[in-house]
Amino acid sequence: MLRAAAAEVAAQQATARLAGAAASLSGIFAVDKPPGISCTGVLDYFKRNVGRGAAGVPFAEHFERERDLRRTGEKIRRRRCSLALRVGHGGTLDVEAAGVLVVGIGRGCKLLGGYLAGGKAYLATARLGAATDSCDAEGRIVSVASAAAVTGAALQAAIPRFVGRIQQRPPLYSAIKVDGKRLYEYARGRGGSGGASAPPAIEPRWVDVGSIKLLCFENPALAQCVGRRVALPAQYADYYAGGRYRWSAGAGEVRVGAPMAPFANCPHLPHFQMLVRCGGGVYVRSLVHDLGAAVGSAAAMVSLVRMSQGPLLLGRDTVGVDDLPHIDRVVEAMRHANATIERAASHGPSTTATATATADS
């Protein structure tokens, strides 16, 4: 009895020490965000579990809970976290997107502004033949246009129009605020005053696209294959190839009003893959949508991976979500990120260019 009580006291003291250590954290590090969970969901997991180590809630359990909440379609209201830890991130990734997510803790949050506006590299895969209201596979099809005659050369010729300082209209499903409400709230019928539609005018914005490299284009109708498709990182490949994105012969016709998800891996639809380097505020799914229209067809993005943000590169400079409860791993990740950032600063912009170039291979 006394031994059990002593063990419980010791456990409480250890938890208090870890919580104190976690509360003193300050800096920046990069986490490998998996698809299927929001950035806020990742940060919520971190705040509730950092310092708990092996006693933390398994990420898979947290992931399923987040998915169940999202299925309701209601705004997720989170419980207050007992650990007073200031945490933020340096640029939103959509729920179904994956890759580098820069996280700031404590005083590190003040440094996140540079990452919001800074350079990023994305690996995007898209399907031609249909466009959606969200510009990706999460939405419903709003237009269908044959892509049977689209060639890799036509797509390559259209790309320069979307490089440089360009005007881009944000997608309907985005976190941009209009009249105090986020666009996705209007789109989902939470715009207030009972209105379920988005604002009548979404103004285009100036954004900077450094480069777009067409990695692969395949059109089964023309028996044409240009380039070589880059394999997605192993930790994402199964997610994007299966589950709700799995295609089957019973998926039916591509038609207006149907959800796009069952056609994300349809072998009959032409697809292309590209590497995009850009500044802050660029919506890659809008680029995909506009490229589809530019070649006389329609397009929707079916996967997106942020390969780098600033000098921080996926894999080399990121920790996994399962590492987040372990304070020693977080501290080491901050040290590593700081060393990478300092090294990049001392060598100039070429370091970032070299890092993101590895996404080509």
**How many angstroms separate the Cα of 152 from the Cα of each of 215, 217, 264, 271?**
10, 6, 20, 10
Q: Is residue 81's pLDDT more than 90? A: no
What per-residue confidence (pLDDT) applies to 360?
A: 40
Cβ–Cβ < 8 Å for 34, 94 = no
pTM greater than 0.75 (yes/no): yes
What per-residue confidence (pLDDT) applies to 194?
A: 42
pLDDT tens digit sequence for 19-36 = 555 556 789 999 999 999
- Find the angle CA(239)-CA(301)-CA(184) to the nearest 5 degrees: 95
Cβ–Cβ < 8 Å for 361, 355 = no
What per-residue confidence (pLDDT) applies to 357?
A: 37
Q: Is residue 179's pLDDT more than 60? A: no
Structure tokens that stand for 80 in this block: 């207050």
What per-residue confidence (pLDDT) applies to 68?
A: 87
208 is catalytic: no
> What's the pLDDT band for 200 if we cut at 50, 70, 90?
low
What per-residue confidence (pLDDT) applies to 90?
A: 92
Active site residue: 44, 94, 133, 290, which one?
A: 94
Q: With b meaning 16 or more CB within 10 Å and e meaning fewer, what string describes 88-99?
A: bbbbebbbbbbb
For 101-104, the CB contacts below 8 A with 24+ separation are: 101/30, 101/31, 101/32, 101/33, 101/39, 101/42, 101/306, 101/309, 102/28, 102/29, 102/30, 102/309, 102/310, 102/312, 103/28, 103/29, 103/30, 103/31, 103/43, 103/46, 104/27, 104/28
Structure tokens that stand for 281 in this block: 């505020």
pLDDT tens digit sequence for 129-162 = 999 999 999 999 999 999 999 999 999 999 999 9
Q: Is residue 74's pLDDT more than 70? A: no
> What's the pLDDT band for 209 if we cut at 50, 70, 90?
very high
What per-residue confidence (pLDDT) applies to 225?
A: 95
Q: Which of 77-81, 234-238, 258-262, 278-282 has the lowest mean pLDDT?
A: 77-81
The CA distance from 154 to 318, in Å, is 37
Q: Is residue 193's pLDDT more than 50? A: no
Q: Outline which parts of the chain fall under CATH 3.30.2350.10.
A: 120-169+204-309
What per-residue confidence (pLDDT) applies to 42?
A: 96
Q: What is the largest CA-CA distance in the chain?
A: 79
Give the amino acid at 147. Answer: A
Please report, rounded to a whole number, the percentage of residues in the chain having pLDDT higher than 90: 64
pLDDT tens digit sequence for 33-54 = 999 999 999 999 999 999 889 9
**To the nearest whole number, what is the mean pLDDT of the chain?**
85
pLDDT tens digit sequence for 210-263 = 999 999 999 999 999 999 999 999 999 999 998 889 998 888 899 999 999 999
- The domain defined by 120-169+204-309 carries CATH number 3.30.2350.10: yes
